[in-house]
Amino acid sequence: SAPALLLAEDAFAIADREVAEAMLPVVARLEGLLGPAQRLSLGEPGEITLWNDQRNIIQRSEAWAGIREWIDRENPAFAFNVARNLAFGSTITPAQVEIALITRHRIVARARMLLEGGAILCMPTTPFTAPPLGLSLAETDALSGRIGVLTSFAGMAGLPQLNLPLGSAGGKPVGLSIIGWRGADMKLVAIAKALSEG
């Protein structure tokens, strides 16, 4: 029979070692519930690191298209990072959007193949522990990009993703995400509930 639990090795490879190792006991608990995990890659080698950039192209072009007339009319003030993202969105070409949409289509097809039959996918929620306060914008941008790599699969495919904050790395909490096919929201909640009670 098909495995009920899938483990995204390429997503684990992106996480800091201490985070990936902190997830192993959580994965073991999931395996106790769902059976042995099948280890696989979400994309070709190195591919998932590009997905966040493609998602940003779609999001920022849509954001710009949605409020450009309002911006032109009202000339509002924005925080620097919001203004920067909107400015970036204003420069995106239709060809760039088309490529990003093709990428999204490939992610949806891969997600359907893996999860439509009811399997659950797991991966680290974030690749690192909580960062210190007071980081510069450049530092937080870099961290945001790394998180985006791990959230782009479910985000681009329109899938429910639930964080299980059950790990600890360096004394800081870290989470394992479980992802299901569309409509599996309550199944994910039931898994989380079973783990919390187990």
Looking up residue 26, the CATH number of its domain turns out to be: 3.90.1300.10
pLDDT of 40 reads 96
Q: What is the mean pLDDT of the chain?
A: 93
How far apart, in whole angstroms, are the C-alpha atoms of residue 111 and residue 39?
Answer: 15
How far apart, in whole angstroms, are the C-alpha atoms of residue 96 and residue 19?
Answer: 34
How far apart, in whole angstroms, are the C-alpha atoms of residue 91 and residue 87?
Answer: 7
The predicted model scores a pTM of 0.90
Domain that holds residue 167: 5-197
> Whose structure tokens read 């070692």?
17
The pLDDT tens digits for 124-134 are 999 999 988 99
One-letter amino acid at 100 equals A
8 Å CB contact between 124 and 177: yes
With H, G, I as helix, E, B as strand and everything else as coil, classify residue 127: coil
Residue 2, pLDDT above cutoff 70: no
pLDDT of 16 reads 95
Mean pLDDT of 16-24: 96
How far apart, in whole angstroms, are the C-alpha atoms of residue 61 and residue 43?
Answer: 24
Token output for 148: 């985006």
Mean pLDDT of 60-72: 94
Q: How many helices (H) and strands (E) does the chain have?
A: 7, 5
The pLDDT tens digits for 106-163 are 999 999 999 999 999 999 999 999 988 998 988 888 888 889 999 999 999 999 999 9
Provide the pairing of β-strand 38-40 with 161-169.
unpaired
8 Å CB contact between 124 and 15: yes
As for how many domains the chain has, the answer is 1
Ranges of H-type helices in 4-47: 9-14, 17-34
% of the chain with per-residue pLDDT over 90: 85
CA atoms within 13 A on the CB side of 195: 24
Total length of the chain: 198
For the chain, state the CA radius of gyration: 18
> Whose structure tokens read 């106790």?
32
